[in-house]
Structure 1
Amino acid sequence: MKILTPATSANLGPGFDCLGLSLGFFNEVIIERTKFFSISIQGEGAKNVYVKKNNVFVNIFNTIYEKLTGQKDNFRFIFHNKIPFSRGLGSSSAVIVAAIASAYEMSGVKVSRQEILNEALKYESHPDNIAPATLGGFVCSMVANNQVYSIKKAIDKDLKAVVLIPNVPMNTNKSRTLLPKSYPIKDCVFNLSHSSFLTACFLEKKYDLLKIASLDRIHQYKRMKLLPELFEVQKIALENKALMSTLSGSGSSFFSITYQDDAKHLQEILQTKFPHFRVEILEFDDKGFEIC
């Protein structure tokens, strides 16, 4: 079997730990039954010995497969990793979702995407990345009674993502330690109103209002201080027809949305200004993971 799992961008400014969307940029895993276990990695992580020796995908896959079948079978895992590690593009969530879905597929056990999403919550406590990786599109999620509740909306085809990917990683757990333990009520209300309005903009396709809806007072500023160039990235993007421009997840990538006709212009400006960073124009994905 082969499974494709998309990159994701979470938070989208004010939607801390609850909003995310799926990008047309995929990790691919091929799994074959064999007499002996083997693993090969191409792309991201190919030179990382730890990733090969203590592979999260393989560990989750084997745990679930054995639970479903009662057997310890051998497989060959071939990874083609495109999603960069520790760049705020949902690489860990892509691994978790793909491993769970693959284990069910190889076990011959039918399962819904909702069940996969709830299983993924055991490995990733926030739904902002695992939900779009599973469902595709723009997804607003919450957690209640150990279940993920999500509402998905497809994103118009005439919109494009312009993603700036620095050559500097940001560790999610480390970046969380920078955030305060409490916030003024006015900042909480600010983010509640903006995340609600941002969700409404996607549901009603009011994309021209995304710029004001995507403002944040909870996490972005403190995280962006780890790589101050990101402030200039955001400024340039918003001055050059970006409909919104936000830190992707906990960073270090920066995510912007433009209309299709404006995407190339923004990419060229950002690439010229930041030649040591990578700037990609990406489609939005509406499927989530796909088993081939």
Structure 2
Amino acid sequence: MKVSVPATSANLGPGFDCLGLAISMKNQVIIRPSKFHSVSLKGEGANNPALKDNNMFISIFNDFYHNLSYKKRHFRFEFQNEIPLSRGLGSSSAVIVSAIASAYAIEGIKLEKDKLLNLALAYENHPDNITPAVMGGFNVACVQENEVRYINKAIPKNLKAVIVVPNRAISTQLSRKTLPFKYSKEDAVFNISHSSLLTAAFMAEDWEMLKHASFDQIHQKYRMKQMPELFDVQKTSLKEGALMSTLSGSGSTLFSMSYADDSKNLEKALKLRFPHFKVFTADFDNVGVRIEI
């Protein structure tokens, strides 16, 4: 069987911990019956032996598999990772979602996506990454009574994601420590109004409105100070035709959205300006987690 989960970009500027979307690069795992446990890893993280020895996927998979099955079976896990590690593109959420989905699928137990999402919540208590990882598309989500409440919207094919991945990471844990303990009423109102407008723009497909709605006062400027070049990446992206340009998750990746017709020029301009960073264009993913048996 094969399970794949797309990359995600969370927050999207003002939607701190509640907005996210799925991008069509993925991590996938192929699971085969085996006489003994084995792991192979290709792509992102392949040169990191610790990922084989201390594999979060295996740990979560075993938690669920041992509860679902009375059988003692061994498997070979073949990982092919496209999502950069620790760059704000949802690599941890991809691991969590794929591990839970795999444990159910290997036992032939149907798992509805809503249930999968809420099981994943136990490992990732912010719904902005796990919701698009499961559902695909654009998502606005919150947690209420230990359940994710969300609305999902497909993203049209005439839009592209232009991604800038810096050559170093920003720790999510350390990144959260840079945020203020208190915010002014003005900053709170700013983000409520802009995240509301951003959500409405996605739902109405009013893409020009993203140029006005995607700004933030709660987290981006504090996190981006750890890597000041990101301010220039954001400024360049908006100048070169991006509809919006936001820190992806806690960083260090910068996510931009553009019309498909503008994406090549935007990618070219960013590559010229930031040759030491990885820059590429991707489609959006409207499916989320996929299981093939």
CA-CA distance at 1:73 after TM superposition? 2.0
- The CA deviation string for residues 184-211 of structure 1, in whole angstroms up to 9 with x for no partner, is 1110111011111100000000110101
> After TM superposition, where is structure 1 displaced by more than 3 Å over at least 4 residues in a row?
none
Matches of 1:35 and 1:153 in 2, distance apart?
Answer: 44
Equivalenced residues, count: 292
CA-CA distance at 1:48 after TM superposition? 1.1
Matches of 1:275 and 1:36 in 2, distance apart?
Answer: 45
Matches of 2:182 and 2:72 in 1, distance apart?
Answer: 47
Residue in 2 that maps onto 1:219: 219
CA-CA distance at 1:71 after TM superposition? 3.4
Matches of 2:25 and 2:47 in 1, distance apart?
Answer: 21
Matches within 5 A, 1:1-292: 1-292=1-292
Matches of 1:11 and 1:73 in 2, distance apart?
Answer: 40
- Normalising to structure 1: TM-score of the pair? 0.99
- The CA deviation string for residues 37-94 of structure 1, in whole angstroms up to 9 with x for no partner, is 0001011111212111110001101110111113332110000111011100000000
- The CA deviation string for residues 107-135 of structure 1, in whole angstroms up to 9 with x for no partner, is 11111000000000000010000000000
- The CA deviation string for residues 143-190 of structure 1, in whole angstroms up to 9 with x for no partner, is 011111110000111000000011111111110000011101110111
Contiguous gaps of at least 5 residues in structure 2: none
Matches of 2:11 and 2:150 in 1, distance apart?
Answer: 14
CA-CA distance at 1:23 after TM superposition? 0.2
Matches of 2:211 and 2:51 in 1, distance apart?
Answer: 38
SS at match of 1:234: helix
Contiguous gaps of at least 5 residues in structure 1: none
Over aligned residue pairs, what C-alpha RMSD do you find? 0.7
SS at match of 1:195: helix
Matches of 1:67 and 1:213 in 2, distance apart?
Answer: 45
